[in-house]
Structure 1
Amino acid sequence: MLTINSLTKNFGGNLAVNNVSLSVESPQMIGIIGRSGAGKSTLLRMINRLNDPTSGEINYLDTAVHSLKGPEKRAWQARCGMVFQQFNLVPRLDVVTNVMLGNLNKQSTFRALFNLFPKEEVFRAIDLLERFGIEEHMAKRADQLSGGQQQRVAICRALMQNPDMVLADEPIASLDPMNAQTTMEALRRIHDEDNKIVLCNLHTLDTARTFCDRVIGMRDGRVVFDGPANALSTDVAREIYGADENFSETSTSTNINALPSDLSSTVKAV
């Protein structure tokens, strides 16, 4: 169970996250929606401890996440697989090595420097790439892949550390609609097949309705909606995004549902 109590983040007088409380009692696929600057990314980064909270608590099972330091903090970050908007891959390295970098905190610096990974990790990385339909690209440099392919590599890298949950920060913001659908399908599979919590920052209402069980709406750092995805009405959307927005079914978001899915240097093992 993930519990957040009165969580606040203040950046020089700007309340990016303002007294947020929520709980996740069982594995769910949760979309966090809102305008840019609503506090969505800061919230995820505090859960992962990339940002330290100004005040409040984050608890997961018996772990007081908000108070972790040093090795315990790094161990927690390994339990929260993070997927970023801009992929954060190493462009000059091949795909399978990028995936194995998800376990970098478990490897010696010497082995990582010379691409010396245990055989079982190489096989695990290949299995993950095969699972998400990109094993044929494993020997290519990461920068030779499309944006959608790179994001699936980033998802594989996050899963490499066998996290308790996956946090995805605007994972489809830089993708075309077809690759956006492919990426969201991959995240949904992690929830359905691995029984993991997936928290995903999103902009579009249709995407949240289609792929998420629950939606959290944020505005000006506060939670203004928390409920099932099918409760995302026009009135709720206006509360989240502002009364001046036009929320017709055809204009609120890019419809990725009607598009077809495309899911369909060598590492030395020691």
Structure 2
Amino acid sequence: MLTLTSLTKSFGQNVAVDRATLNFDRPAMIGIIGRSGAGKSTLLRMLNRLADVTSGTITFEGHDITKLSGKAKRHWQSQCAMIFQQFNLVPRMDVVSNVLHGTLNRRSTLATLFNLYPTADIHRAIDILDRLGIADHAPKRAEALSGGQQQRVAIARALMQEPKIILADEPIASLDPMNAQVVMQSLRRIHEEDGRMVIANLHTLDTARRYCDRVIGMRDGKVVFDGTPEQLTTGMAREIYGAGEEFSEAATSTEIETLEQTAAPQRHEVKAAV
């Protein structure tokens, strides 16, 4: 379905992604983990063609994505939707209009200029918002919503593109644990119910294990792990993150249950000291 062959991206002398070779033969929920600067975001940007490839190829359903330009490239970007950490919404615009921006690639310049949308698209946007549990917020300005709600609006906008692949670049990095859980559950449900491939850059191991079918680890631009969540041991995590024995998974957790388990002994210690 999707194949990356010796994919490389260089910025001058700095190699951000170093000969990454990966094969995705079916839609799955895939997590990419690694330290900041490991090459995760650059990899997604090359997949979406927001960044050009220095060398190597990206092939999707037999088509070489790295050679696309103009209209063909824009069509691919609609099929490979991107969700960003900072949402990239229009703050003062209402929620439903932000979602409808997902249709811009197939609308005329005149319709875009006058902000005209077919009734069917408006109904579909509201249906998607309802599916994500935020239809009640459709008439509100995007800036009035919480971070977790705004990220779900961004997911709804991606779904309006009717993509085959959804790329999520650190979708929960700026969210509290409760909203992070809701966003990850939404992405997992989209994969399961729609049969879409979802590839998400993640910082935390517990999140990757809980929601993903497959986990890819990157270090210094190289793919150093590719396996199931069960194969992602603490020892392997140390290798991915370049950490020593002091490495603690709990310290990087965004899962509510893990945070509560970590806090419980600390509360006990405080009480004992008192």
- TM-score, normalising length from structure 2? 0.92
Query: Given the alignment of the two structures, is residue 148 of structure 1 paired with residue 148 of structure 2, yes or no?
Result: yes
Give the equivalent residue in structure 1 for 2:102. Answer: 102
- CA distance in structure 2 between the aligned counterparts of 1:246 and 1:19, rounded to whole angstroms: 30
**Which 5+ residue runs of structure 1 have no aligned equivalent?**
260-270
- CA distance in structure 1 between the aligned counterparts of 2:136 and 2:50, rounded to whole angstroms: 33
Query: Given the alignment of the two structures, is residue 79 of structure 1 paired with residue 79 of structure 2, yes or no?
Result: yes
1:37-48 alignment runs, 5 A limit: 37-48=37-48
- Higher CA-based Rg: 2
**Which 5+ residue runs of structure 2 have no aligned equivalent?**
260-274
Give the equivalent residue in structure 2 for 1:255. Answer: 255
For the Cα contact (< 8 Å) 1:35–1:219, is it kept in 2?
yes
| Aligned-pair CA distance for 1:81 | 1.1
Which has the larger helix fraction?
2
Root mean square deviation, CA, Å: 1.3
- CA distance in structure 1 between the aligned counterparts of 2:30 and 2:256, rounded to whole angstroms: 18
Read off the aligned partner of 1:225 and give its amino acid letter.
Answer: F
Give the equivalent residue in structure 1 for 2:27. Answer: 27
State the 4+ residue runs in structure 1 displaced beyond 4 angstroms.
none
Deviations 1:53-101 (A, max 9, x none): 0000000002110111111000000001110000000111100000010
State the secondary structure of the residue aligned to 2:226.
strand
State the secondary structure of the residue aligned to 1:185.
helix
Give the equivalent residue in structure 2 for 1:126. Answer: 126
Deviations 1:185-220 (A, max 9, x none): 010011100001100000000000100010000000
Give the equivalent residue in structure 1 for 2:157. Answer: 157
Read off the aligned partner of 1:129 and give its amino acid letter.
Answer: L
Read off the aligned partner of 2:34 and give its amino acid letter.
Answer: G
Give the equivalent residue in structure 2 for 1:14. Answer: 14
* Number of aligned residue pairs: 259
Same amino acid, percent of matched pairs: 64
- CA distance in structure 1 between the aligned counterparts of 2:242 and 2:156, rounded to whole angstroms: 36
| Aligned-pair CA distance for 1:12 | 1.3
| Aligned-pair CA distance for 1:234 | 1.0
- CA distance in structure 2 between the aligned counterparts of 1:126 and 1:20, rounded to whole angstroms: 39
For the Cα contact (< 8 Å) 1:180–1:256, is it kept in 2?
no
Change in CA separation of 1:167 and 1:245 when aligned onto 2, cut-off 3 Å = farther
Give the equivalent residue in structure 2 for 1:69. Answer: 69
State the secondary structure of the residue aligned to 2:27.
coil
For the Cα contact (< 8 Å) 1:181–1:257, is it kept in 2?
no
| Aligned-pair CA distance for 1:258 | 6.6
